[in-house]
Amino acid sequence: MADTPADLMRLVALMHGFRSTQTIYVFAKLGLADHLADSPLTAAELASTVDADPASLGRVLRLAAYYGVVTELREGRFELTPFGQPLRSDAKESIAPTAIMLGQEHYRAWGSLLHAVIRGESAFQHVYGMPMFDYLAKHADAQADFDAAMGSGTEVFLRSLVGLYDFSESRLMVDVGGGNGSVSAVILKQNPSLEAVIYDQPQVLDAADRYLTAAGVRSRCRLVPGDFFSSVPDDGDLYILSKIVHDWDDERAVRILRNCRTSMKPSAAVLLLEAVLPEHGRPSVATMFDVNMMVMLTGRERTEAQFRSLLAGADLRLTSVVAISDRLSLIEARHP
């Protein structure tokens, strides 16, 4: 049992976390932060704008006030707080797309965490009847939400990347599983002589075209459709895989890495952007990402030793691991 009332209250708060997840999801899905950006509004005024029930929306807004997203003013008006500003779609570091993604498919899949623990299989596939990426390919709205979430906050999390790694000697970067190109965009903005190939499934490349155009780097990118389990484009100086390897079990992860190894020049490097699990005994946010991979896919987060072994299985040598943030590291690998 928790030792102090404070410990007990913290435990209770963790138990109730699903309620804050759904409150913030509804707030983001309905775009309430955008509607409150200029001035406070009543629940009725907001409801008429977003086509919701005024009484029900008012009750959720009061809960959002409890969580600190809005402040309830006199006469039933609600004002967006500084804490809630990142839920605006036009915020520079908007997290609204992530809030939407987590409140939808992720939320339902995590509801079957017990199934994953008992059966040792993907909770997402149990709930939706197919693997996650197959589901996204069949549901354009879900794919769009996923792509937006993957780009959400990219510059925040990768702000220090360009200062930690020297991209100046490279001519061509192959972004393997590059999605909407948000990671490449961060790197290209700071390296004007670098070009990129965004390599991913055909259905995601339209989003890459739009994102890279808006970022002002589209002219230095080629969008190439393909399947990284079969092959990857040749002759890159860098092969960057951002949160790709963790999606897959060891066998399929090695297959992707081996395809990079086959296509890369002798002088080229493979760069993995991944969470690195600490060895046992130290709590880490990477454990949350690890269980998320268990729920949503068939992959896992890995320790540095496990990455070293995984890369060796693809005939690659781990050369460095550099922390970018508390949740992401840059792992470099080269020819043996």
Q: Hey, which residues are catalytic here?
A: 246
- Cα–Cα distance list, 24 to 224, 266, 268 (Å): 36, 48, 43
C-alpha to C-alpha distance for 181 and 32, rounded to whole angstroms: 28
- Cα–Cα distance list, 304 to 140, 164, 208, 308 (Å): 36, 18, 31, 6
Element at 273 (helix H, strand E): strand 269-274
CA angle 46, 50, 52 (to 5 degrees): 85
C-alpha to C-alpha distance for 296 and 68, rounded to whole angstroms: 30
Tokens of 288: 């949350």
**Would you say 178 and 199 are in contact if contact means Cβ atoms under 8 Å apart?**
yes
Amino acid making up residue 290: D
Of the candidates 271, 275, 286, the one whose C-alpha atom is nearest the C-alpha of residue 323 is: 275
**Which residues, including other chains, have CB under 8 Å from residue 193's CB and lie 6 or more apart?**
168, 171
Burial of 333 (0-12, 13-18, 19+ CB in 10 A): buried
C-alpha to C-alpha distance for 303 and 263, rounded to whole angstroms: 26
Residue whose pair of structure tokens reads 């001035």 in the numeric block: 39
**Which residues, including other chains, have CB under 8 Å from residue 202's CB and lie 6 or more apart?**
225
